[in-house]
Amino acid sequence: MCETKMLKIGLLGGMAWPSTLEYYRIINETINLSLGGTHSAEILLDSLDMAVIEAMQQQEKWDELGAYLRYHADVFLREVDFILICSNTMHKVAETLEADGHEILHIADTVGTAIQNAGLKKVGLLGTRFTMKEMFYRERLAQMGIETVIPSDEACQEINRIIFEELCRNEILGSSKMYFLAVISDLVRRQGVEGVILGCTEIPLLVMQGDTDIPLFNALECHATAAAEQAISQYV
């Protein structure tokens, strides 16, 4: 058996499954680009049932969600070097896993680093209503010196609907794409943001950088790329 010093990644995926495919692709492509040949990532994937998670989210059962995610993270004990929660929203319970000793690569930290590298200070945040309205994500970015603003209440409601009723079901509609682009333009015009975070792992399935001149920070891509870089940081 060939021994390497590549770190093994644990993916808590399925939230929802289309974006988990993107995590797997980006991590492997990044590692292969760095190491060449036939190199690929060492990954363990535990794919969760999104319907179970969505039901608990809508009922605001965050303690139960934390326990649910912790149960699945425990599957990785002694098997992986660090864990990715493949969902922006579910980072609301990331501290529950960290308290149990799991090493979590936090998605907001990777996004914040990308924003800092771009030299920006004020950005918009798009995601589920939990990610936009609650402070667990925005406070993490504030600790990095980044001001985060969100759309109007009406826009937050429609964005949340599109995510759960369309994107999580792998339904990509042109009308929803145009709505997101209008919200992004409005954030720039009315609130003076310098860029926008695509803070739901499903949003990049709908909106990409090529759709607008406004800098977009794809949280999924930031997270997956950082994971790949961390995995090979000790590789010899």
Enumerate domains of the chain plus CATH numbers: 9-106+223-231 (3.40.50.1860), 108-218 (3.40.50.1860)
Interaxial angle between packed helices 107-117 and 219-231, expressed in degrees from 0 to 180 and rounded to the nearest 10: 100
Q: Which two tokens stand for residue 73?
A: 């993270």
Alpha carbon 47 to its chain's center: 15
Say what percent of the chain tops pLDDT 90. 90
pLDDT given at position 78: 84
> Looking at 98-102, 176-180, 229-233, which range is the least confident one?
98-102
> What is the chain's mean pLDDT, rounded?
94
Looking up tokens 């599109």 gives: 162
Q: Report the distance separating Cα 7 and Cα 170, nearest Å.
A: 31
Q: Which pLDDT band, with edges at 50, 70 and 90, does 102 fall under?
A: very high
Q: Report the distance separating Cα 136 and Cα 66, nearest Å.
A: 14
Record the pTM: 0.91
Mean pLDDT, rounded, for 196-224: 95
Mean pLDDT, rounded, for 147-165: 96
Q: Which pLDDT band, with edges at 50, 70 and 90, does 4 fall under?
A: low
What DSSP string runs through 149-168? E---HHHHHHHHHHHHHTGG
Q: Which pLDDT band, with edges at 50, 70 and 90, does 236 fall under?
A: low
pLDDT given at position 75: 87
- Give me the amino acid identity at 105: L
Q: Which residues of 69-98 are buried (b: 16+ CB within 10 A; e: fewer)?
A: beebbeebeeebebbbbbbbbbbbbbebbe
Q: Which pLDDT band, with edges at 50, 70 and 90, does 1 fall under?
A: very low
Mean pLDDT, rounded, for 7-24: 94
Q: Which pLDDT band, with edges at 50, 70 and 90, does 16 fall under?
A: confident
Work out the number of other CB atoms within 10 angstroms of the CB of residue 45.
15
